[in-house]
Structure 1
Amino acid sequence: MIDIPYRSALIIGAGAGISGSLTRLLREAGIAVVVAARDIGKLAALVNQTGAIALQADAADATQVERLFAETEARIGAPEIVIYNASGRVRGPIAELDPAQVEQAVAVSALGAFYSVREAAKRMEPPGKGAILLTGATAGVKGFPLSAPFAMGKFALRGLAQSAARELAPKGIHVAHIVVDGSVRSEHRADSQDNTLDPDAVAQSYVDLLRQHRSAWSWEIEIRPWTEKF
């Protein structure tokens, strides 16, 4: 098995689910990890468990993203892995949605990803090495009723990933979009195990991407529970 060829990681939009599982796997592999969120108080248990560093940032704010990357670089060096896990959701009939709330939701899902990819590319292009993984959703492939803002943001995210992959892969930077097609299991959900995604298994799929040889990079993968219809 090819070892993970990176030594530092920044996870943006971190929480207890996929991000928590990813943090544990990366730390077990000896990789320094910074986890970022608007509310870093929710990351205290993860930080205590793994030794990861928590930094506060609003991904929808370009200035805060710039600062986040600068602070990450000062703490663990320029991140060789950047994982964007943030997303914004607003539900409701299109005719009744608040434009300001829609703008914020799309900003988190799409613009925040752009700000993050931009900062990552600045640091990864000179050495010609790095990986950028963007967490997508079923909504980025097909839009559902009452969920237009989420679909708008995730469709934009997928387009960003495809464009960035084509631009940056020839420069040695692996860009991949992960379509998470299903609900992620948590201790707070009552769903049966067959109907939900195990966050540890999802995180393993991310790590498998990081281990890919550059002669066989994937730009997109879909992961879903085995009972999920598609």
Structure 2
Amino acid sequence: MSTIPYRSALIIGAGPGISASLTRSFRLAGLSVVIAARDTGKLKSLAEQTGAIALEVDASDPSQVERLFAQTDAHIGPPEVVIYNASGRVRGPLTDLDPSEVERAVAVSALGAFYSVQQAARRMLAAGKGAILLTGATAGVKGFANSAPFAMGKFALRGLAQSAARELAPKGIHVAHVVVDGGVRSELRGDPAEAPDSTLDPDAIAQTYVDLLRQHRSAWSWEIEVRPWVERF
């Protein structure tokens, strides 16, 4: 029997890292899971391994987000857990950035999160329960040079999480912002030999999300940071 007090989950912006670890954790716990991304071809292997349902979405388009939630309703019912992992990133000096690329990056990181939280809240308010977890980054609390669009999007994401938590928590919906402070380990990005444990293990990050979902409502966290024990901050 699952120790997660929810039955279904929708992960938006799914990929091979944190989202894949979350999908495996949720499926092992018995949750029905929908994973969504712009390119569902990249999700084929994960869907086959876990039995999750892969759906297509461009999170920066409100009509596509609305369609995604309707499709999710049809496949697994209204999702009781919604996780937003999508983000947009454009690097470069402020003077050289293309405004249209900046607009796109911020739309994915921030507006897509708003569209998703809005759709999730409408369903969860009707049910009187649910959880919405938003994946943040160091850039959401500390803007770096040559990375203004990413900081803009992640700062907005954090503001959305804080506002939504204050509005929705008293109505039974747990909203939390997870600051992933450091690089996430992958097959292509391992720890340097001279710096073991200097990246975050995606399975360990997923465990933190699961722990958030298990929190009793008398002690809900609205924000939590995860970082390697050797990370400077």
TM-score range, shorter chain: over 0.9
Q: Which residue of the partner structure matches residue 221 of structure 1?
A: 224
Report matched runs for 1:1-230 at 5 Å.
Answer: 3-192=3-192, 193-230=196-233
Number of residue pairs matched? 229
Take 2:32 and 2:148, find their aligned partners in 1: how far apart are those partners?
Answer: 37
CA contact 2:190–2:199 (8 Å) conserved in 1: no
Take 2:188 and 2:119, find their aligned partners in 1: how far apart are those partners?
Answer: 35
Give the aligned residue type for 1:10. L
Give the aligned residue type for 2:227. R
Deviations 1:50-98 (A, max 9, x none): 0000000000000000000000000000000000000000000001000
Take 1:174 and 1:33, find their aligned partners in 2: how far apart are those partners?
Answer: 18
TM-score, normalised relative to structure 2: 0.97
Take 1:209 and 1:190, find their aligned partners in 2: how far apart are those partners?
Answer: 26
CA contact 2:191–2:198 (8 Å) conserved in 1: yes
Take 1:95 and 1:172, find their aligned partners in 2: how far apart are those partners?
Answer: 45
CA contact 2:179–2:225 (8 Å) conserved in 1: yes
Take 1:47 and 1:160, find their aligned partners in 2: how far apart are those partners?
Answer: 30
| Equivalent position SS for 2:221 | coil
Q: CA RMSD in A?
A: 0.8
Give the aligned residue type for 2:231. E
CA contact 2:92–2:146 (8 Å) conserved in 1: yes
Deviation at 1:126, TM superposition (A): 1.2
Take 2:3 and 2:47, find their aligned partners in 1: how far apart are those partners?
Answer: 24
Give the aligned residue type for 2:70. A
Deviations 1:196-222 (A, max 9, x none): 000000000000000001011000000
CA contact 2:35–2:54 (8 Å) conserved in 1: yes
Deviation at 1:3, TM superposition (A): 1.9
TM-score, normalised relative to structure 1: 0.98
Take 1:31 and 1:53, find their aligned partners in 2: how far apart are those partners?
Answer: 12
Q: Which moved more, 1:154-163 or 1:192-201?
A: 192-201
Give the aligned residue type for 2:29. A
Deviation at 1:190, TM superposition (A): 4.1
Deviations 1:22-66 (A, max 9, x none): 000000000000000000000111001100000000000000000
| Equivalent position SS for 2:162 | helix
| Equivalent position SS for 1:131 | strand
Take 2:117 and 2:220, find their aligned partners in 1: how far apart are those partners?
Answer: 18
